[in-house]
Structure 1
Amino acid sequence: MFAVSPSVSERRACQVLRQHRSTQRKLPRGRVDEDRLVADMIALARQYGSSGYRRIAALLRNAGWQVNDKRVERLWRREGLKVPMKQPKKGRLWLNDGSCVRLRPEHQDHVWSYDFVHCRTDDGKVFRTLNILDEFSRECLTIRVRRRLSSTDVIDALTDLFIIRGVPAFIRSDNGPEFIAVAVRDWISVVGAKAAYIEPGSPWENGYCESLNARFRDEMLNGEIFYSLREAQILIEQ
């Protein structure tokens, strides 16, 4: 509201400023559920510290809120929460021969990807996780936790998923020794899938799995102390 000079009427001032006169008489009021929504939003922002308002909005909808991204963004800015900068658009990836190497998932169980994540228990011993992801639905299909993971462990994990979900069209991975092992490559072809290896030194070609790994480390591994391998397996499974 603005101060009106005694010599200028409210009607005249609103006419000059092109404002409706009701803006000077009615204070804006939020919705009835806004306080509870803000409280839930802040709680999720504390739990998922690296997430922006879009992911928080999705989590709120999963919790039962009927809310769109624009409303969450408005409240997000009002509460002074961090809004991540807009990411630049990425072009397609091309090889020297002009062929495009980016394989985009078109439906569920079209492209799976998998990768390793390294961590340590409290005694300093290393353990590894094998993360397998459906790129279309962004669903983490399984996480295997072991001190050591070999090509046999990769085959065992994929076999269990094939029994439950069927065989995907493509399986994307990097060029690590566990993934390019002859046994893994031959087994993938036998079951009817195709291996889609990324170019060496190009982790962005496996971007879906890299994104999962980053959030998994930020939201889980960096926030927990694992005193034993069994404790790590139980907590990660939960």
Structure 2
Amino acid sequence: PDDGVLRDRLKTLAQERRRFGYRRLHVLLRREGHAVNKKRVQRLYREEKLTVRRRGGRKRAVGTLRPLEVPLAPNQRWSLDFVSDQMTDGRRFRILTVIDNCTRECLALTFSSGRYTE
């Protein structure tokens, strides 16, 4: 087929199917009876500056995201974290750390080498 006819059909298909790239549009053109190879469709797709439309991001709920309040005095907020590691003989251990967010002081370290699952 003529490049002009193919270009027009490619543009209309790309507008109808915004999430289709040149590969899927090539399949549609072949199904319609156009004897065209993938490289030609890719060239025309690029020359027409057609692109796949990206999906829109998920909308965030208004007012749900607010910054964390900065603690102004000790003992207002603590943070907990588990740290896991392995000894040289292969035994695993876990440490629970407790930190005061205001003073950045480590309030507790608890060691456990008992059985646990990850």
Please give the range of the TM-score, normalised by the shorter of the 2 chains: 0.3 to 0.5
Q: TM-score, normalised by structure 1?
A: 0.21
More strand by share: 2
More helix by share: 1
Structure number with greater Rg is: 2
